[in-house]
Amino acid sequence: MNEPAAGLPQGRVVSVNLSERKTVRKTRGVEGVLVEGRGFEGDAHAGDWHRQVSLLARESIDSMRAKGLDVDAGDFAENITTEGIDLVALPVGTVLRVGDEAVLAVSQIGKVCHTKCAIYYQAGDCVMPREGIFAVVRRGGTVRVGDAIEVERLGEA
């Protein structure tokens, strides 16, 4: 595996989450295969667009748990649940290596929720629109729970 760039943020994969349909919570798993220019094999959000893969930090999920919600990895429809890396501090264009093979480029920070999800109605809040990030797949590969997430290059702020 390549050594991480000195001084750049690092984290790890907590969960790989996939679903065959949109607008549903994703099923937690231990691994998934990223396809270059598409996203995760078998995931409804994969395709030729700028939000091929979504990432959300375990720390963000924990903030919702602190509000009394019974939520976990995949419940916010994120593909990769991370730990130890401040996702929203990464500018668009940041390049991430995930595991030994996969390379992602951050394409969007947060999103507009045109319709409120069930979590929003339960808690009056949802972290994905503010704290989730999206990426395109620059190089495919298998992503597994426990894999390192390394910032190879920061994007332009």
pLDDT in tens, 11-66: 999 999 999 988 778 999 999 999 999 999 999 999 999 999 999 999 999 988 88
Q: Is residue 98 part of a domain?
A: yes
Residue 80 belongs to domain with CATH number: 2.40.33.20
Give how many domains the chain has, as a whole number: 1
pLDDT of 76: 85
Q: Please give the Cα distance from 19 to 75 (Å, whole number).
A: 11
pLDDT of 89: 93
Q: Is residue 109 part of a domain?
A: yes
CA proximity to 75, closest of 58, 96, 50: 58
Q: Please give the Cα distance from 39 to 141 (Å, whole number).
A: 10
Q: Is residue 4 part of a domain?
A: no
pLDDT of 147: 98
Q: Is residue 113 part of a domain?
A: yes
pLDDT of 33: 98
pLDDT of 115: 60
On the question of pLDDT at 67 being above 50, the answer is: yes
CA proximity to 74, closest of 34, 126, 138, 29: 29
> Which percentage of the chain shows pLDDT scores above 70?
83
> Which percentage of the chain shows pLDDT scores above 90?
65
pLDDT of 71: 87
Residues 6+ away with beta carbon under 8 Å from 68: 123
Give the residue numbers spanning the domain of 45: 10-153
Least confident of 4-13, 40-49, 98-107: 4-13
Q: Is residue 5 part of a domain?
A: no
pLDDT of 5: 57
Quote the mean pLDDT of the chain: 87
Quote the pTM value. Answer: 0.88
Q: Mean pLDDT across the stretch 63-91?
A: 91
On the question of pLDDT at 2 being above 50, the answer is: no
